[in-house]
């Protein structure tokens, strides 16, 4: 297994209504709202390295499509989109991490993918206004993530849910962040979609 470390933020959006049932990690509850599920995951890497290659400061998106009716029916199709600033060496390492070629926290969603499309380089631009995130992947789509807050202005969170543990979020906590306004259109994926559900978590992945 390759060694890598990665610190950053994972922003999940998906085509289900808020909140996507897959977060609970209970197989009997994972009935997809539309009969299928699609999600772009955005990872903003603050710092990291993989097999000695620096991957800090890069943005990565993983577009995942599962035909349903539940996540664990698998047979998914997916693509990794890497920042066009990446070097060939960085692209190689990022693909290994996010396709979970040698394990790691992406292993659960990746294990349900039957067809990995070729990794695509694209201009990925991210703006963050007080925790509300908008990211564009040139020629493919847009990700919108807006933290939910209560009347006191505190961000709403969930803890110890299945996907939180699978993605190894820090403190086993994710912030709820609806994704209305997100849209995705990759002609090689089976569907185009708009997202509604979403969550955000801080990650600190260490694979020796």
Average pLDDT over residues 59-77: 92
Q: Which domain holds residue 68?
A: 4-207
Q: Stretch 24-41: mean pLDDT, rounded?
A: 83
| Per-residue pLDDT reduced to its tens digit, 119-149 | 999 999 999 998 899 999 999 999 999 999 9
pLDDT reading at 98 higher than 80? yes
Q: How many other CB atoms are there within 10 angstroms of residue 56's CB atom? A: 13
The number of folded domains in the chain is 1
Buried b (16+ CB within 10 A) or exposed e, 185-195: ebeebeeebbb
**33 has pLDDT over 90:** no
CA pair distance 127, 78, nearest whole angstrom: 25
58-78 mean pLDDT? 92
Helix or strand (DSSP H, E) at 70: none
Would you say residue 110 has pLDDT above 80? yes
């Amino acid at each position: 297994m390759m060694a890598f470390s990665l610190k950053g933020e994972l922003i999940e959006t998906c085509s289900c209504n808020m909140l996507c049932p897959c977060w609970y990690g209970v197989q009997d509850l994972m009935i997809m709202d539309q009969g299928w599920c699609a999600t772009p995951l955005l990872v903003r890497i603050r710092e990291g390295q993989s097999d000695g290659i620096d991957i800090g400061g890069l943005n990565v998106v993983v577009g995942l499509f599962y035909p349903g009716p539940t996540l664990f029916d698998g047979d998914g199709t997916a693509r990794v989109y890497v920042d066009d600033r990446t070097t060939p060496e960085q692209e190689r390492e990022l693909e290994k991490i996010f396709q979970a070629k040698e394990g790691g926290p992406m292993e659960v969603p990746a294990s349900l993918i039957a067809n990995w499309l070729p990794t695509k380089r694209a201009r990925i631009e991210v703006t963050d206004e007080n925790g509300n995130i908008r990211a564009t992947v040139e020629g493919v789509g847009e990700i919108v993530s807006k933290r939910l807050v209560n009347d006191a202005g505190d961000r709403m969170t969930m803890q110890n849910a299945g996907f939180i543990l699978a993605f190894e979020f820090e403190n086993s906590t994710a912030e709820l962040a609806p994704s209305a306004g997100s849209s995705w259109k990759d002609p090689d994926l089976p569907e185009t979609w708009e997202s509604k559900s979403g969550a955000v978590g801080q990650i600190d992945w260490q694979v020796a």
